Structure 1
Amino acid sequence: MSFENCKDVWVFIECFRGEPKDVGLELLGQGRKLADGLKQDLCAVIIGKDVNDAILESNEYGADKIYVVQGDEYEDYSADAYGKAFLELCKKYKPNTILVGATINGRDLGSKIAVSLRTGLTADCTSLKVDEDGVNVIWERPAFGGNLYAQIICSDTRPQMGTVRPGAFKKIDKVVGNKATIIREDIKVDKSEIRIKIIDFITSIKEQGIKLEEAEYIVAGGRGMKDAKNFKMLQDLADLLGGTVGASRAAVDAEWVPQSKQIGQTGKTVSPKVYIACGISGAVQHLAGISDSDVIIAINKDESAPIFEVADYCIIGDLFEVIPTLIKEISNLKCECTV
């Protein structure tokens, strides 16, 4: 696509059965910053069936335009149907920049679009900004195993594209009184073109409860937890705080907790109000997943642990003594508040 004809910043609002996932709404906030820097409009792209809630929320989070493609064939995600619809929109409206959540479906769709349009795609971005000339987006992501951060510019082709992990950015405050222009496109996909059919969805027991990406309080354990059974006290502390339990890669590799609880470069990116790291040394790969936490509390008996360099509060001590004490004190405070 020629640079002169490409305009606007697009954010793909991924939905599940009509309900928008948080990552798309989170990206509208970042999309607004990019759109203002590029002096272009912010557009939400919604594909699905019965997506009125997604349209409403996209408007509330500040989209200037909302492109909507609806139909029975879009009830469940498929690369064939969604890819065709998104490509048709791209060919007609020629976006300058596209942001997609780095979910399973988002990564699938993003790569399909990038290959089809012969453009670049930067994966798993952690920071986004516009260059000094107001022309290109600077996509920042971890590189070389998380030991460095690479800044990538797609200067030769358009649209410029990137995926961002859920939870990497927080949702902005809703924009009161926003009135987005809704553009509906009737794009049909024949059943014969959809090669994959969803038979059923099974919710894993491990995924029930508060999601890591949405939790305001996270209590995470690492190699220092020593055994799977010791995560019980982390769960007790998380329950007191109204949060959930996470883990470092070392704890997951040891099979103490499921992979769905892993936080870091090869796991999930989180941005809670409070992150409590228990027995986690603080490898750079793990720190990449918690950098947007409001407050980081580290508990470790090794006073030279790298986690202390980024923590707001540092507790040097035996976590098997510290955590039970925390549980006791918080329980006492809660009892006093209810008297």
Structure 2
Amino acid sequence: MRDGVQAGLTSAEATTLWGAYINDSAIKYKFKHFLSKMEDIEIKPLMQHALDIANGNLKTLREILNKENYPIPYGFNTDHDVDISAPRLYSDVYVLNYLHNASQIALQGYSINLSFAVRADVYSYFNECITQLTKFLREVKELLLLKGLYIRSPYLPIPNNIEFIDNENFLTGFFGKKRPLVGPEITNLFANDQRNAFGVSTLIGFSQVAQSEEVVKYLFRGIGIAKKHCEVFGDILKQDDLPVPTSWDSEVTTSTTFTFSDKLMMFYTTSLNALSVGFYGMSMATSPRRDIGLHYIRLSAEIMSFAEDGAKIMIKNGWLEKPQMAPNRKELAFKDFE
């Protein structure tokens, strides 16, 4: 700030605020349905807290954007995106695990957004998001542990001493004997398997209540892809006699009543696609064994193809909101000559 004048929003700040608003507006409606069907008296306060956080975030985001005369994203701002009176679609166990997964993902996203923030109000907003979400995530983990539902990643034996890699065979994996998995590879394989397993149950529920045949077919394609990715990651873990995460398919009810709009479910599905590509890229960067890296490249390409088809469905139905764009200088220059 200079002479009392605050700097405008940078492209990074405007983009992260815009994306955060759309995400929280979507989460709000999903949480409203979850809360209306919640029976577990221990999970219900956490669900209410999560909804309160989303509503508080939306209020602050509107204040920052209005101050800059930035148009508020349309996002999801109508009760037509959810039917709170619809029968339960997912169990309370699923919802608690959803809060855990969603909080982990959001925490990573807020950390990135904070690193881009320059203006004091934007920095303060994302810093506060991290602070409240860190506390909330701990509460979710404690309840999962209390209920015996927390799925821990595999344990490794404590090494006797420090060692250095002295052979390039450490990197191989296509031919011959493969070395055992190292910690970062195990961590990412287990986490990616777990996320895909959770994605399967999410898309199963979505497919049961989708209204458009085109959307149903797309969701079923996503279920098949996620199951295949679980098999790939699970097989690699099993080769080293390591445990594989469980599935949540049994936590989906048989309801086929309209619950969420096709627009909302497609938004979540395409968001999961983008997250998966990001997680796979990070996993590939920390997996020295070449065969594992090749798996991530192949699976990422499959997700990107699936994501593109999802974007086409959203564009066709007018569901994809356009983010901020740089001005087309050529178009502006030739405006009077075309």
When the two structures are superposed, what TM-score results if normalisation uses the length of structure 1?
A: 0.26
Which structure has more strand as a fraction of its residues? 1
Which structure has more helix as a fraction of its residues? 2
When the two structures are superposed, what TM-score results if normalisation uses the length of structure 2?
A: 0.27
Q: Which has the higher contact order (CA 8 A, sep 6+)?
A: 2
